[in-house]
Amino acid sequence: MKNNIRVERAIVRMTQQQLAEAVGVSRQTINAIESCKYVPSAVLAMKIARTFEKPVESIFSLEEGD
């Protein structure tokens, strides 16, 4: 699963720590999601999308084979 969290954070000038606090996870979790090492739960994906006021599909997308 691909994501563009890093881009969305840059647009609003938000750090990984700030996003982590907003959605209730650790900064390491946000880092792992951005690095595609961890696939978030549906609830967490929705919280992240809501933080950026965008639909989930504009933040996360499936890759071929997912």
Query: pLDDT by residue (tens digit) across 2-40?
Result: 999 999 999 999 999 999 999 999 999 999 999 999 999
- Beta strands per DSSP E along 1-66: 2-3, 60-61
Query: Out of 3.40.50.12280, 1.10.260.40, 1.20.1050.90, 3.40.50.720, which CATH number does the structure's domain 2-53 have?
Result: 1.10.260.40
Candidates 13, 61, 2, 10; CA nearest to 35 is 2
How many Å apart are CA 48 and CA 51, to the nearest integer? 5
pLDDT at 33: 98
pLDDT at 65: 84
Does 63 have pLDDT greater than 90?
no
- Residue 48 tokens, joined: 């992240």
Is 0.75 surpassed by the pTM of this model? yes
Q: Are 52 and 46 in contact (CB under 8 A)?
A: no
pLDDT at 64: 86
